[in-house]
């Protein structure tokens, strides 16, 4: 019984030392951990850049591959939110003008169609920030509402 305990402890120590050596001296995994921290803080573009460096060092680094994919998806969503804010401001300026022309209506239609199409191309995963995707969904609902109000016969 005592020999099994000693053997088990020796194996555990060897595994721990191997993990420390591997993660402590592998630049790829150091970069992966840094990328993961950036991703968790919502800095998706930086996380993607760092994960790409880690992947370039070790193409078998699964953490780098995962963070690279997730940061790309999240960056697309963050870009969607940023663009949606800009388009909604443009739409508001167009609708507040004293004369609302047919040309303005067509501009709004195109903005709404572009943003609704982009929303449907977003592919959230299990690891995607739920609040970020919820924000994308809210903006998409705004565009759908505007589109339905201006063009009730379409859609």
- pLDDT exceeds 90 at position 112: yes
- pLDDT exceeds 90 at position 88: yes
Helix 44-57 vs helix 27-40: angle between axes, to the nearest 10 degrees? 160
Q: In this prediction, what percent of the chain has a pLDDT beyond 70?
A: 94
- The span from the CA of 39 to the CA of 75, in Å, is 10
Q: In this prediction, what percent of the chain has a pLDDT beyond 90?
A: 48
Say what the pTM is.
0.75
pLDDT for 89: 96
Question: What is the C-alpha R_g of the chain?
Answer: 24
Query: Terminus-to-terminus CA distance in the chain, angstroms?
Result: 74
Do residues 153 and 102 touch, judged by C-beta distance below 8 A? no
- Per-residue pLDDT averaged across 68-74, rounded? 91
| pLDDT tens-place string over residues 17-65 | 776 666 556 788 889 889 999 998 888 889 999 999 999 998 988 989 9
Nearest to residue 47, comparing CAs of 25, 63, 24?
Answer: 63
Tokens of 140: 């998409």
């Amino acid at each position: 019984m005592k020999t099994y305990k000693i053997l088990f402890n020796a194996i555990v120590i060897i595994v721990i030392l191997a993990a420390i050596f591997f993660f402590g001296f592998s630049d790829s995994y150091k970069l992966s951990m840094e990328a993961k921290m950036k991703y968790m803080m919502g800095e998706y573009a930086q996380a993607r850049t760092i994960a790409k460096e880690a992947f370039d060092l070790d193409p078998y680094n699964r953490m780098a591959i995962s963070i690279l994919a997730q940061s790309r998806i999240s960056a697309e969503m963050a870009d969607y939110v940023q663009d949606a804010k800009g388009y909604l401001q443009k739409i508001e300026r167009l609708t507040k003008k004293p004369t609302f022309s047919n040309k303005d209506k067509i501009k709004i239609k195109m903005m709404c169609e572009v943003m609704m199409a982009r929303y449907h191309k977003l592919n959230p995963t299990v690891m995607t920030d739920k609040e970020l995707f919820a924000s994308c969904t809210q903006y998409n609902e705004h565009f759908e509402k505007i589109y339905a109000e201006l063009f009730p016969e379409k859609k």
